[in-house]
Amino acid sequence: MTKVILRYLALVRFGPVEGDPLRLRSLPGITLLHAESGEAERRHLYEAVLNLNWFPRAAREAVAKELGTTLRELEDRDLETAARMFTDIVKKKMREEGHRGRLRDAALEQLAGFLGKKPEAFKKRLQRIRGKQRQRARRRTAH
């Protein structure tokens, strides 16, 4: 798996050596992974690959599987984290302006508008994400 990822990254970034499309150009002074690389270094590389939006989705899904998760779970986690951070910022600003009441709902509606989603559908998706996260947490503690 690691060789495939590194080969793909090097081919995309640096191109093949002329005459041998499978041989990579050398990267002087740069070692992404070597034979003695530990699990932590490998995991760090995999997580970095997941953040490359231009990397093919099928390859990122394979990397996510190698990390013991799915790409959808990671995307859901990112969306939920971003929503939480955004709502905290907007709620704080609204309180400072003297607003009271359903500040979280107003913040989520604002975020849904930025994302081009319908507010109710967006809230429902976040609700499903949180439910799935709770189920995964229960399964982990049960085992």
CA distance 130 to 78: 12
The residues spanned by each domain of the chain are 2-66, 71-142
The pLDDT tens digits of the residues spanning 94-131 come to: 889 898 888 888 888 888 998 899 999 999 999 898 88
User: What does the pLDDT look like over 19-56, one tens digit per residue?
Assistant: 444 444 444 444 455 555 677 777 877 887 787 777 78
pTM, two decimals, is 0.59
